Amino acid sequence: MLREYVKETVKRGLVSLVRRRIYFITMVVLPLLGAFFFLDLIKSGSVEQAPVGLVDLDNSTLSRNLSRHLAAMQQVSVQHQYASFDEARQAVQRGEILGFFFIPEDLSEKALSGNHPTLSYYINYAYYAPASMQYKGFKTITVLANGGIAANVMQFMGATGEQISATLQPIAVHTHPVANPWLNYSYYLNASFIPTFFALLIFLVTAFTIGIELKYGTCRQWVERAGGSMGLALTGKLVPQTCIFIVVGWTIQWMMYRLYGLPLNCANWIMPVTMVLYVLANQAFALTVMSLIPNFRYGTTVCSLMAVIAFSVCAFSLPRESEYAWVGGLSYVLPARYYFLISVDQALNGIDLHYSRWYYAALVAYTFLPWTLTWKLKKECLNPVYVP
């Protein structure tokens, strides 16, 4: 009898996957397409040659020197030179450029007289990655301008080259980034962003799979065909999806570590095993939400909201130590945080597996959490109440 129940519930899960094209799109097409898009977007290591403009109202030797330095930078590409601030601002609003560097007309005069001239730059932060590159490039130019102005003043006062160098840079700093000496942005961004995007899709598919039974009132039949066992009903429904997600996750890892050459400084089996636990943990998280909120609309909304929050609070772009305490604590509620820490420890730094044991324990704990709440979901399935 148990064999029949297992057969029926697995058959029901497979049939639902085949009948709805949305499953194929969200489980296979979107994660692979998204991974390819993000990996190929910054395969060179960072966003380069962001189109910018220049407004030079001074037209002095100093300002022309700054313009040449700006044009030679790798982060930005000076596309146009404008005659006024308003003209450059309108070009940003039209989308012709993403920002511009503004040199006032009294730059050289104030610089040589010691009156502290002001250099300005304006950036469209609607496009975050190129805007960050612009900020880095513009900031470098302003630092160079400060050094150049100070050097000119000291030279005018009769200082020698050695005295100028010793004053402007008394201490020489040598920076050696650990595990990423190339400062490749792809190693950081894609190693965190792509798995979190994958988690978002797992959340939505899992919540949709359970919620659709509740929405259309087929949940009672679903449980009865599993012999009244909620655990068996969930297993038959989710195991086929688990297998597909794991294969897709391994394919994404192959793209990341083999095709696009992201660092893999650990044993080859560690990250594939981590992906298996990651898929199970994300499915379990979505199942927990649907058990606590057995409603199609509310459950899927909460799952999507938590997945989107993961992009911001899981310390991908801002260290957890710099976040508010409650925000940093919220990051540890989501499986993406633990996968990120494991990928940093193992794939990027290649440290001993022992130091990541608590992160693995957290992913395993997620898989057991929802099974303590299946009774609540079963109660709702056997006595469904329609909520629009």
- Of 122, 71, 66, 68, nearest in space to 98 by CA: 122
Q: Which residues make Cβ contacts (< 8 Å) with residue 385, sequence separation at least 6?
A: none
Helix axis angle for 270-292 and 296-313, nearest 10°, is 140
DSSP code for 174: -
SS3 label, residue 77 = strand
Whole-number pLDDT of residue 45: 62
pLDDT(39) > 80 = yes
Q: Which pLDDT tens digit goes with each residue over 164-176?
A: 565 555 666 666 6
CA distance 177 to 51: 28
Which of these, 87, 111, 109, lies nearest to 100 by C-alpha position?
A: 87
Beta-carbon-side half-sphere exposure of residue 353 (alpha carbons within 13 Å)? 10
User: Is pLDDT of 15 > 70?
Assistant: yes
Residue 46 pLDDT grade (very low, low, confident, very high; cuts 50, 70, 90): low
How far apart are the two ends of the chain, measured CA to CA in Å?
37
pLDDT of residue 313: 76
Express each pLDDT in 205-225 by its tens digit. Answer: 999 998 888 888 788 888 877
CA distance 280 to 247: 13
| pLDDT score of 375 | 85
- pLDDT for the residue 4: 66
The answer to whether the beta carbons of residues 242 and 283 sit under 8 Å apart is yes
C-alpha dist (Å) from residue 13 to 6, 213, 278, 296, 345: 11, 11, 21, 18, 37
Give yes or no for residue 155 having a pLDDT over 60: yes
Residue 16 has pLDDT above 90, yes or no: no
Distance, in Å, from the CA atom of 256 to the CA atom of 267, rounded to the nearest integer, reads: 15
Q: Which of 95-104, 134-143, 369-378 has the lowest mean pLDDT?
A: 134-143
Q: What are 54's strand-pairing partners? A: 81, 101
pLDDT tens-digit series, residues 354-380 = 999 999 999 999 999 888 888 888 888
* β-sheet bridge partners, residue 105: none
pLDDT, mean of residues 57-70: 82
Per-residue pLDDT at 173? 64
Do residues 315 and 340 lie in contact, with contact meaning Cβ atoms separated by under 8 Å? yes
Look at the alpha carbons of 356, 361, 362, 367 in this order and tell me if their dihedral is positive or negative. positive
pLDDT above 80 for 252 = yes
Residue in this structure with the two tokens 């099974």, named with its chain if needed = 371
| Residue whose tokens read 């030797």 | 61
CB 387 within 8 A of CB 295: yes
Lowest mean per-residue pLDDT among 44-58, 230-244, 254-268, 309-323: 309-323
pLDDT band at 158 (very low <50, low <70, confident <90, very high): low
| Strand order through the sheet with 99-103 | 76-82, 50-56, 99-103, 120-123
pLDDT of amino acid 131 = 80
pLDDT value at 103 more than 90? no
Residue corresponding to tokens 């030279």: 155
3-state secondary structure of 66: helix
Q: For residue 106, give both structure tokens.
A: 């009294």
User: Looking at residue 174, what is its pLDDT?
Assistant: 66
What is the pLDDT, as a whole number, of residue 2? 60
How do 76-82 and 120-123 pair as beta strands?
unpaired
Would you list the DSSP string of 219-257?
A: HHHHHHTTTT-HHHHHHHHHHHHHHHHHHHHHHHHHIII
- Whether residue 69 has pLDDT greater than 90: no
Q: What is the pLDDT of residue 159?
A: 65
Higher pLDDT, 294 or 108: 294
Backbone angles phi and psi of 103, in degrees to 5: -110, 115
The confidence band for 79, taking pLDDT boundaries of 50, 70 and 90, is confident
> How many whole angstroms separate alpha carbon 226 and alpha carbon 381?
12
Longest dimension (CA), the chain: 98
**Torsion over CA: 23, 28, 31, 34 (sign):** negative
Looking at the predicted structure, is the pLDDT value of residue 191 above 90?
no
pLDDT(75) > 60: yes
Average pLDDT, the chain: 82
In the DSSP assignment, the letter for residue 151 is: H
Could you tell me if 279 and 225 are in contact, meaning their C-beta atoms sit under 8 angstroms apart? no
**What pLDDT was estimated at residue 72?**
80
Handedness of CA 112, 113, 116, 117 (dihedral sign): negative
pLDDT of res. 123: 87
Helix axes 374-382, 230-254, angle to 10 degrees: 120
* pTM listed for this prediction: 0.77
